Structure 1
Amino acid sequence: MPGGLIRKAISVRGVVQGVGFRPFVYRLAHEYGLTGWVLNHSGGVEIEVEGSAAALAAFVRDLEGKAPPLARVEGIEITDVPPVGSTTFEIRHSVAEEGRYQLISPDIATCPDCLRELLDPADRRYRYPFTNCTNCGPRFTIIADIPYDRPLTTMRDFVMCPQCQAEYDDPLDRRFHAQPNACPACGPHVWLVPSPQLETLKPKADDVIAQAARLLQAGAIVAIKGLGGFHLACDATDEAAVRTLRERKKRPAKPLAVMMATLEEVKQHCWVSEEEERLLTSPQCPIVLLQWRPESNISRLVAPRNNYLGVMLPYTPLHHILLRDVGRPLVMTSGNLSEEPIARDNDEALRRLAHLADYFLLHNRDIYARYDDSVWFVPYVSRFTFHPSSSNLKPGTLEPETALSQPIRRSRGYAPFPTKLPFKVRQILACGAELKNTFCVTRDEYAFLSQHIGDMENLETLEHFETTIELYKRLFRIEPEIIAYDMHPEYLATKYAKSQVSNLQSSVPIQHHHAHIAGCLADNGWSPDDGPVIGVAWDGTGYGTDGRIWGGEFLVADYRGFRRAGHLEYLPMPGGEAAIRAPYRLAIGYLYALTGRVPSLPSLDIGEAERRIIQQQVDRGINCPQTSAGGRLFDAVSALLGVRQRITYEAQAAVELEMAAQIPNLQSPISNGYPFGIEESEEGIVIRL
């Protein structure tokens, strides 16, 4: 052993590529006077390091304890190897290894260092919309395969200039091996074009982002290419612009997201709690649902009949420049027609969005994976008894008790980072449900949940679903042995699953609400040996084991199976799917089934002929499936109260019922509940309404 030196081989697993981990290791080795090397491979990061026992112990301790902020170390394996007497520490080229996989970083919002450069007139990257480093920028959306190196990304065609190459090659620079590294001299660029369909003026060739800002100020709708696809943007304070966008997008009422330049601007329009601020300013930078201030000048058409705004801060340099130039909040909604996938490529956007946008702000950095914005909220435990807009307390001076932040849509900034399971599993593809689809693939102890796919109701979304499954299989080296699918026979995801089953695979139908409960168990690290739980699953639709529509379920369940212990009583859905789109049909059906008559109510002002048809459907069971769904109960109550008779987006009646139910002040709390009965049956407990 030369001079009492020892040498160790260290293998690190986790999100350790594209996050500055190798330069961190390089600096750490120099700090402790160690020699050896570090490299990326298809399974993570490999290190060999040589030095004194004390220095090696400190190095190993700091390897996880002081890792870069975006790194997530999932495991470290250390073995002793013979010393070789190395005299330097070097960063070696990446090595591809057959069959091995690694965790991949999601895309990350612009870091403070890059933002300072972006806004500094003296910096060479001043107003450059593709500024990034190892601490921020695109990751998942530009990766074609692993290991994460520039030739395997959509930056492969951009040859770095000498200055960028020097940064890329310097282990002490924060852009060392930042694969999307670029500058105005060598990187992607943006340009502005008019819609090929609408009659608009041709833009000039000067600062196109400033031009886009002026167009937005004048009321134009601009399609903007971002990280994972296109947004449709307009001035959120211009009611005419918002109305035009809604009409073109065929989205009459569903809330639209808003982007604002700074946290200070957000606080002018919304109340922001400490936890909501943490979410807004996090590296993931999701849309956060915030309570809307009544004095805000954002058009109420942005979120009609809603007390909340979906707000996000800029998360790319392009957004930072544009929002500062435009000087007002912008609607930033997915670049698509309602229920279609987000547009990704320039030619695709010009074709699909030509009738929606007046102008297109395009760029030439290709997007490999479509990637919608994530949506989160912070649920207030006392939401229905505390409302800062009308209490005697000064808003923002007293925080109500809060629960943990909850995702509504998990996509940009979060996927494809996996959920770590409390057990190991085989390689499985779980295809998901029909609405708000995501799929999941598993390997070892990881469940890789996809980004938001959307409602599986058209060919375009099915193609997006299939393409993204193939991407996940390739990135994580997964060949499913089992395919799991929802029991509903008519779901597109179910039909896809059945079409994929080969002789080498087995398929497993999963009851919808059992999947909900199992998902909660995994989220909370529940071990299979911890036993069953009582799970409550309320939603709008789930195919039951009895062939009827479930959705108000009390299950005793674990990962392996479940027993239906109780449920809401079955009630009619006159017209089937038509009753979901027209909740007044549910209200009439429920009233008639429960009371034997339909009283004359102002909220149910429909023709006598339609009323008779609905009653006949209930009497004869014609196109009138039975449902136990809690979501349908909310719809019926919403219609009975005159809140919402017909819907234009999923769950609209229930959402508006929730908004209407919020208490206006602390002096009139709800003290009485609604009566219900509990009846024992052979199937378990039935809750009678």
Structure 2
Amino acid sequence: MHRDVRVDGVVQGVGFRPYVHALATRLRLAGRVGNDVAGVFVEVEGAPADVGEFLTLLERDAPPLARIERVRVSESPPRGLSGFEIALSDAHGVRNTLVSADSATCDDCLRELFDPADRRYRYPFVNCTNCGPRFTIVRDVPYDRPLTTMAGFPMCGPCRAEYDDPRDRRFHAQPTCCPDCGPSLTLGEASDPIAEAVRRLRRGEVLAIKGLGGYHLAVVASHPTAAAELRARKHREDKPFAVMCTDVEQARELCAVDEQSLRDLTSHRRPIVLMPRLADAPVAQAVAPGNRHLGLMLPYTPLHHLLLRDLAEPMVLTSGNLSEEPIAYRDPTPLAGIADAVLDHNRPIHIRADDSVVRAGALLRRSRGYAPEPVPLARRCRQPVLACGAELKNTFCLAKDDHAFVSHHIGDLENLETYRSFTEGIEHFSRLFEITPRVVAHDLHPDYLSTKYALGLDGVELVGVQHHHAHIASCLADNREAGPVIGVAFDGTGYGPDGTIWGGEFLLASLDDFERIGHLAAVPMPGGAAAIRQPWRMAAAYLGTEIRGWHPDWETVVSMARKGINSPLTSSAGRLFDAAAALLGVRDEINYEGQAAVELEQLADPTITDAYPVRIDELIVQGVDLLRAILDDRGTPRPVMAARFHNGVAAAILDGCQQARDRSGLSTVALSGGVFQNVLLHTRAVNLLADNGFRVLTHRRVPTNDGGISLGQAAISACR
């Protein structure tokens, strides 16, 4: 019996060919396996029972990093084949192969790393088919060494022998190397760069470290002077730094680690995981000032394992970038003015990738460890699509057939370097997945750099997508559904077709279209963007002369809002949270996006279940009621008031959805938008909706914030 097999999915660079070779050999089958631009092809020939068992086990026992999407089998006459071989890769044809994300060091490689008898003992670039760099070193497909940044490191004899041995863990592992033939580490003139790096960290210095997807900046997490110095040099006033721990036991000394967080911490993706900080956590105040949470991660490269094992305590590991720019990844690093020294290596990084961020199992930033694995679409694209995303937390998305390739985290498109990262990323993805867009989707905001990029393209069909429709479509695509649903899109800012700034929306939405059926009552934003930076302005806009003397400029701002001077109208839920934060004395001025809302959530007592009342007239939510309730409740402990505010917003979401259900007959709700990063609000809203008969869709594969917008734009454009 002879069978031709095609395997589609993430099946290159994950040890799939060696696995197939071993399986076929064990079952005494003849044939071959190889990579091409479409995935993996297999020819297998032998006794019918053995071929049948091969096809059963092929998918069931695949390597841990493989993501099989489809196996296609066709029959052809036996050819009298003998032996089973790994064929040369075929680089011809239309590219449909998928590229694996970078993966954390596996247990087998860790054992070698710390085994004095092993030839890779303490070698910071140890890897195998089950772990190591993938996306960040791939220049093109098929995934073979000459098309990666390892091309400049010819394998030595022992490494070549492992690479050619079907019984070896490194059989056809493209980044295979050792101290004799692979990349090397440097720190100035130090003979032992790791030891020198640890010595400098303990001395309180700021160290730049070249990692998997770019440079990081590091200090000892418990060192107050070093942490404060890093914050000053980075010009980063309050935004928390991430902390890398040696192991789970060390992480438990800093944070309350629940089961979900443990799974995320120890997964092969190794994201930063946000968790409640322990009161006695030995971390300098400057690491996460005023924040009750810490972002922890575990080592994901051999270099990190060596550093943390020798340092024996947690270290800050934050993106190595100049203020507001994307993570640095090219050599020489531009961080010399920030870092006291650079722990460097000579393996080039082809594409930058920031660390991913997770909280309570939900992605807040999707990047290293996740990108560029595709999101399957509910509807196939009629034509190839490029979706340019939003301005903040930008990602782009390229889609063809039933695959949406959401990019790694690009950042806020507000400067030239980030814009360059955006355009270079689009070029790389287009080449990697052989997608030439015929349709280009963009946000309706005319001043976004992503919109201007789209409008500057020739020979494509442009599709403008409303920001909040894209949010709900993103949630639908994330759940592989097409709608229609009741969509609740709560965020900070989005361009509304009526000329106002949306952000607290109730929609009837599908991938095809949407209708705005309700929203938060619109209020002025006095000073425009200044009202985002200074939350007290939103309190003034909502309450006007109902209170006085809250701020020296209160009356001036109230007058500005009433007269509509530089005060665009907004229905933003984010601005309502800002107003509440100001009234509760949380923060009058922010230093990073969403800071007031983040600190308001941390203030809230999660044990409180009663809620402030809020009117909803014809699906218009009177947010001012929640703020007046705060004023009327003065004298109550602030954590109680913050909780009652959150519960009131959740109750308003339920009320709005019930009115929408009465109007439309729909009982499925999709929640999306940056406000739903708030775990307290998200949990309260989901529970209330579920308890009242709604089916609730939330995000799983992409962030609920603007990092998921590009997926929604792509899904909408695919339908149109």
TM > 0.5: yes
2:205 pairs with 220, 234, 254, which one? Answer: 220
Match of residue 86 from structure 1: 81
Cα deviation 1:432-458 (Å, max 9, x = unaligned): 001000111101111110000000000
| Structure 2 Cα separation of the partners of residues 417 and 219 of structure 1 | 39
Cα deviation 1:214-255 (Å, max 9, x = unaligned): 100110000000000000000110111110000000101001
Instruction: Answer yes or no: is 1:518 the counterpart of 2:473.
Output: yes
Match of residue 388 from structure 2: 431
Contact 1:679 1:688 (C-alpha < 8 Å) held by counterparts: no
Match of residue 316 from structure 1: 301
Match of residue 196 from structure 2: 211
Instruction: Answer yes or no: is 1:557 the counterpart of 2:509.
Output: yes
| Structure 1 Cα separation of the partners of residues 298 and 466 of structure 2 | 38
Match of residue 181 from structure 2: 186
Q: What letter is aligned with 1:619? A: R
| Structure 2 Cα separation of the partners of residues 192 and 406 of structure 1 | 37
Alpha-carbon distance, 1:77 to partner: 1.1
Contact 1:334 1:342 (C-alpha < 8 Å) held by counterparts: yes
Instruction: Answer yes or no: is 1:98 the counterpart of 2:93.
Output: yes
Contact 1:114 1:133 (C-alpha < 8 Å) held by counterparts: yes
| Structure 2 Cα separation of the partners of residues 316 and 574 of structure 1 | 48
Match of residue 656 from structure 1: 599
Match of residue 174 from structure 1: 169
Match of residue 398 from structure 1: none
| Structure 1 Cα separation of the partners of residues 581 and 436 of structure 2 | 46
Match of residue 614 from structure 2: 676
Match of residue 588 from structure 1: 540
Match of residue 569 from structure 1: 521
Q: What letter is aligned with 1:640? A: L
Alpha-carbon distance, 1:687 to partner: 3.5
TM-score w.r.t. the length of structure 1 is 0.89
Contact 1:26 1:90 (C-alpha < 8 Å) held by counterparts: yes
2:585 pairs with 635, 639, 642, which one? Answer: 642
Match of residue 599 from structure 1: 548
Contact 1:548 1:626 (C-alpha < 8 Å) held by counterparts: yes
Match of residue 200 from structure 1: none
Cα deviation 1:145-167 (Å, max 9, x = unaligned): 00000000000010111000101
Alpha-carbon distance, 1:670 to partner: 4.0
1:353 alignment partner, SS class: helix
Alpha-carbon distance, 1:260 to partner: 0.5
Match of residue 55 from structure 1: 50
| Structure 2 Cα separation of the partners of residues 74 and 466 of structure 1 | 29
Match of residue 646 from structure 2: none
Match of residue 129 from structure 1: 124
1:34 pairs with 23, 29, 32, which one? Answer: 29
Contact 1:43 1:97 (C-alpha < 8 Å) held by counterparts: no
Instruction: Answer yes or no: is 1:354 the counterpart of 2:305.
Output: no
Alpha-carbon distance, 1:459 to partner: 0.5
Alpha-carbon distance, 1:688 to partner: 5.1
Alpha-carbon distance, 1:622 to partner: 1.2
Cα deviation 1:163-210 (Å, max 9, x = unaligned): 0010111111110111111100110001013xxxxxxxxxx5321111
| Structure 2 Cα separation of the partners of residues 420 and 318 of structure 1 | 34
Identity of aligned residues (%): 55
Instruction: Answer yes or no: is 1:256 the counterpart of 2:238.
Output: no
Cα deviation 1:81-140 (Å, max 9, x = unaligned): 221111111111100123222111000000000000001111111110000000000000
Match of residue 376 from structure 1: 358
2:259 pairs with 252, 261, 274, which one? Answer: 274
1:624 pairs with 567, 584, 601, which one? Answer: 567
TM-score w.r.t. the length of structure 2 is 0.85
Alpha-carbon distance, 1:534 to partner: 0.6
Alpha-carbon distance, 1:483 to partner: 0.3
Q: What letter is aligned with 2:28? A: G
Contact 2:214 2:327 (C-alpha < 8 Å) held by counterparts: yes
| Structure 2 Cα separation of the partners of residues 31 and 120 of structure 1 | 31
Alpha-carbon distance, 1:141 to partner: 0.3
| Structure 2 Cα separation of the partners of residues 670 and 9 of structure 1 | 60
Contact 2:548 2:554 (C-alpha < 8 Å) held by counterparts: no
Structure 1 unmatched runs, 5+: 1-5, 194-203, 379-404
Alpha-carbon distance, 1:686 to partner: 4.7
Q: What letter is aligned with 2:477? A: A
1:297 alignment partner, SS class: coil
| Structure 2 Cα separation of the partners of residues 295 and 613 of structure 1 | 44
| Structure 2 Cα separation of the partners of residues 424 and 375 of structure 1 | 29
2:372 pairs with 416, 422, 430, which one? Answer: 416
Alpha-carbon distance, 1:674 to partner: 2.1
Alpha-carbon distance, 1:337 to partner: 2.2
| Structure 2 Cα separation of the partners of residues 100 and 298 of structure 1 | 48
1:187 alignment partner, SS class: coil
1:114 pairs with 109, 130, 135, which one? Answer: 109
Cα deviation 1:305-362 (Å, max 9, x = unaligned): 2111100000000000001111111000000123201000221x1xx21221100001
Structure 2 unmatched runs, 5+: 625-720
| Structure 1 Cα separation of the partners of residues 355 and 143 of structure 2 | 23
Q: What letter is aligned with 1:576? A: G
CA RMSD after TM alignment: 1.2
Match of residue 345 from structure 1: 330
Alpha-carbon distance, 1:619 to partner: 2.6
Show the 5 A alignment for 1:532-551.
Answer: 532-551=484-503
| Structure 2 Cα separation of the partners of residues 224 and 436 of structure 1 | 24
Count of aligned positions: 623
2:122 alignment partner, SS class: coil
Instruction: Answer yes or no: is 1:162 the counterpart of 2:154.
Output: no
Cα deviation 1:444-497 (Å, max 9, x = unaligned): 111110000000000000000000001110111101110000111111101111
1:636 alignment partner, SS class: helix
Question: Where is the helix percentage greater, Structure 1 or Structure 2?
Answer: 2
| Structure 1 Cα separation of the partners of residues 260 and 582 of structure 2 | 35
2:152 alignment partner, SS class: coil
| Structure 2 Cα separation of the partners of residues 618 and 283 of structure 1 | 51
Q: What letter is aligned with 1:246? A: R
Alpha-carbon distance, 1:591 to partner: 1.3
Q: What letter is aligned with 1:564? A: R
Question: Structure 1 residues 314-323 or 632-641, which shifts more?
Answer: 632-641
| Structure 2 Cα separation of the partners of residues 307 and 615 of structure 1 | 33
Q: What letter is aligned with 1:411? A: S
| Structure 2 Cα separation of the partners of residues 105 and 552 of structure 1 | 37
| Structure 2 Cα separation of the partners of residues 414 and 263 of structure 1 | 22
Alpha-carbon distance, 1:662 to partner: 3.0
Contact 2:440 2:462 (C-alpha < 8 Å) held by counterparts: yes
Alpha-carbon distance, 1:597 to partner: 4.1
| Structure 2 Cα separation of the partners of residues 77 and 131 of structure 1 | 35
Contact 1:138 1:227 (C-alpha < 8 Å) held by counterparts: yes
| Structure 2 Cα separation of the partners of residues 653 and 278 of structure 1 | 29
Please list every run of at least 4 consecutive aligned residues from structure 1 whose deviation after the TM superposition is greater than 4 angstroms.
none
